[in-house]
Amino acid sequence: MFKKLTLPVYILCGAAILALVGLIVGAISNGIEGYAIQNFGLTVAFSIISIVLAAGVAFSAIKFGNQHFISAAGRVAIILLLAFGLTFIISNRVEVVSTLSWDRDNQATVAAWNTGLTSVIFFVLADIAFIVSGFFGDKEKEAPVQEAA
């Protein structure tokens, strides 16, 4: 089973792990008292759906070979879902940064900013990894192209 894994599958798995870590750190940031992220449920939903889609794209690549349309459509959906979820974190943590400009001694504000920024970094790295995984292919495992009759 593991002998069939190619570089894009490994990158997909790594990107899914990065997205999961970003989600966990985002949940920690959301739990800081007084600094809850509005609509964080949508971020959780988008992240979970993107991780499941990543597993589906990886399974498809292992089972059926590199089918360009399925792989590309899955990756685009994953990238967009993570980006949509990321916007909720960023938009809520902008307010935290504005608070930090005049109240640097508030430890809850500093913690909310640090964990929020860390979550954003992990989500951006996951998005970049999903994009990069699309540029690697395995010529031996490509699905045969069926020409129209």
User: Mean pLDDT throughout 79-84?
Assistant: 93
- The pTM (predicted TM-score) of the whole model is 0.83
User: Mean pLDDT throughout 16-22?
Assistant: 95
| Per-domain boundaries in the chain | 2-135
Summarize pLDDT for 20-67 with one digit per residue, the tens. 999 999 999 888 888 888 888 999 999 999 999 999 988 887 777 667
Which of 132, 129, 117 lies closest to 18 in space, CA to CA?
A: 129
Residue 119 pLDDT class (50, 70, 90 cuts): very high
Arithmetic mean of pLDDT over the chain: 84
Q: What angle do CA 87, 90, 91 make, to 5 degrees?
A: 80
